[in-house]
Structure 1
Amino acid sequence: MRDSASPAPPFAGGSGHVAEQLAQAIHEHRILPGAKLSEDEVGEIFGVSRTVVRAALQQLSHDQLITLKRNRGAYVAQPSIREAREVFEARALLEPRTARSAAERSTPADMTRLQAHIDAEHAALGAGAVGRAVYLSGQFHIEIARIACQDTIRDFITQLVARSSLIIALYWQRRSALCESHAHDALMRALAAHDGALAEEVMRGHLLDLLSSLDLQNRAAPPRSLHEVFGKP
């Protein structure tokens, strides 16, 4: 833990900021499922107290991104095969209908925002940042739920997308699927045309393709140093 007289690093902030930074690193697969989040290490990296770290970890636990184990500490969650199937089954129930609603309500401004997500996703893929591309892909799905103006369902989808990021990190066997998929472009065209039936069909097929790209076998992800993740020596 840092000495109070030492200058705070650029990361310094409250528990919300720490939780946000850790969550993004998890979503982008820079911190992998099963990795231990040491309170001392997190505090040193972000220049915050143990109290702030614990509050951040509690928030991540509430969001089901980490698991707090008594007398052992915090670990990035490792969804089981059963959980993986349940998450994608839930998404298949919610998101196609949400895509239909979004197509009925979409505006040119919405299309501009969605295109920005796709452009950023392609840029991440071009840079070899596959984890970042997966994160942006999830944000694209959340944005469609926002356009649909279904706040309660959007909250559910946000949680499911977060769980999906962990599932993909653990079980993705066909990483080229992200590069091969044109589903987001097809969804854009359906939404721009206000074709709800097509948007629903494309979304359903897209989620089935994502599920088919998973190798649902038990496996352990390799750990990675938090200092390495956040560029600290």
Structure 2
Amino acid sequence: MNIAHKTPANLDANQEDRAQAIRDSLRDAIVDRRLTPGTKLSEAEVGTLFDVSRTVVRYALQMLAFEGLVRTERNRGAFVSIPTPEEARQIFASRRLIEPGIVAAAVERITPDDIGAFRKQLDEEVRFMNERGPVARRAEIKASGDFHLMLAAVAGNGILQRFMDELVARSSLVVALYGRSGVSSCGHNEHSAILDALANKDVARASDLMLHHIDHIEADLDLRVKEGLALRDALSS
């Protein structure tokens, strides 16, 4: 995972907050697949959209670069990262190593209130699945990723939770580039089965189901590149 980065000395606290807000907006647009791999992130355009200086924008893009979601090229600028097939395999290999451990820790800590929160999350997934249109589709994908992040939170390991935050974001980027439309989001039924195993304190079954689930997501990838929205449209959606 990425090493921590330092705030530029020439930014004050307000500018740092603005940079963080820009980072969050761009990150959400990337993870929700409104900005697809390869999209140019013009410092001037982002600065105009958020009414900030290029220095603030540059720091926001630097944060995203540390997360692997943006790449910067000398004399060309910043772009949404384009993960290679090998990087995609490494991302899912990392998830296979980490998520069974998260499941095992979550089984030990999960409470009836947690189970209830997960059930509500699954209801949200169903609601978005039953709606049509790109906005509902993006919301469904986000809700699917949130299931995995909730598991990491229940596991109670802050370091693993940060790792999962990055892995889920980068998985979304991979799905944006290689995913089959309507197929590659996490399966609701698989989430439900994992939750049932967690509620029954069945670590082995929950871990096996999680591995099968990750295999299923990766197996649904192909090499077709999808077209996304322009930067202004993506941030206003």
| TM-score (norm: length of structure 1) | 0.86
1:101-142 per-position Cα deviation (integer Å, ceiling 9, x unaligned): 212210122123222322222233333322332222112111
Query: What residue ranges of structure 2 are gaps of 5+ in the alignment?
Result: 1-16
Secondary structure, aligned partner of 1:79: coil
Equivalent position of 2:103 in the other structure: 99
Secondary structure, aligned partner of 2:35: coil
Task: Find out whether 1:170 has 2:174 as its counterpart.
Answer: no
Specify which of 158, 171, 178 is matched with residue 165 of structure 2: 158
1:145-192 per-position Cα deviation (integer Å, ceiling 9, x unaligned): 111122222222221111101000011126235485411111111122
Specify which of 226, 230, 236 is matched with residue 231 of structure 1: 236
Equivalent position of 1:29 in the other structure: 33
- RMSD of the TM alignment (CA)? 2.0
The percent identity for this pair of structures is 38
Runs of 4+ in 1 over 6 A off after TM superposition: none
Q: Distance in 2 between matches of 1:37 and 1:221?
A: 17
Q: Is the 8 A contact 2:34 2:228 kept in 1?
A: no
Specify which of 97, 119, 122 is matched with residue 118 of structure 1: 122
Shift of 1:95: 0.6
Secondary structure, aligned partner of 2:71: strand
Q: Return closer, same or farther for 1:14/1:159 CA change in 2, 3 Å cut-off.
A: same
Secondary structure, aligned partner of 1:68: strand
Q: Return closer, same or farther for 1:142/1:80 CA change in 2, 3 Å cut-off.
A: same
Query: What residue ranges of structure 1 are gaps of 5+ in the alignment?
Result: 1-12
Shift of 1:201: 1.3
Q: Is the 8 A contact 2:106 2:154 kept in 1?
A: yes
Shift of 1:230: 2.6
Q: Is the 8 A contact 1:104 1:196 kept in 2?
A: no
Q: Return closer, same or farther for 1:180/1:160 CA change in 2, 3 Å cut-off.
A: closer
**What is the number of equivalent residue pairs in this alignment?**
218
Comparing 23-32 and 106-115, the one that deviates more = 106-115
Q: Distance in 1 between matches of 2:70 and 2:191?
A: 29
Q: Which amino acid aligns with 1:191?
A: L
